[in-house]
Amino acid sequence: MIVVNCPHCGPRNSSDLRPCGEVTTRPDPATASLSEWRTYLYLRENPAGWVTETWYCRSGCRRYFTIERNTATNETRSSEAS
């Protein structure tokens, strides 16, 4: 079990939330190359360490927020509303 700290609801079991993956920057569709667009859609860093992720609080406040999670230890820190 991973305990995720929702900025609105407080600490919740991760089964109450939905992970939405690493935070990425969306390139401008008008100017992005196919390579940049593919990278945005499909490629993730997936480090063994701290990563900034978006989560959705589906059973509680129904808001999106970002947290930092250590993918090696599942520690989390510094959540904030998106």
Partner 1 sequence: MPTSIPRGYVRMPDIEFQSPISHGPISTPDGSVSIEDETSTTKVVVRAAAGTAAAADLGVPYGQSRLRADGTLVCGTRPDEWTLFAAAGRAAEVIAPVDTDGFVNAIDITHGRAMMRVSGPKATALLAKVCNIDLADDMTPDGAVFSGSVAKVTCDLLRADRAGEASYLISCERSFGSYLFAALADASTEFGASLPAGLSIH
Binding stretches for partner 1 (CB under 8 A) = 8-9, 12-13, 15-16, 58-63
Backbone dihedral region for residue 4 (phi beyond 0: left; psi -120 to 50: alpha; all else: beta) = beta
User: Minimum distance from CB of 72 to partner 1 (Å)?
Assistant: 26
User: Minimum distance from CB of 57 to partner 1 (Å)?
Assistant: 9
Nearer to partner 1, 24 or 59 (CB): 59
From residue 59, alpha-carbon distances to 9, 15, 29, 82 in Å are: 10, 9, 33, 17
User: Minimum distance from CB of 48 to partner 1 (Å)?
Assistant: 29
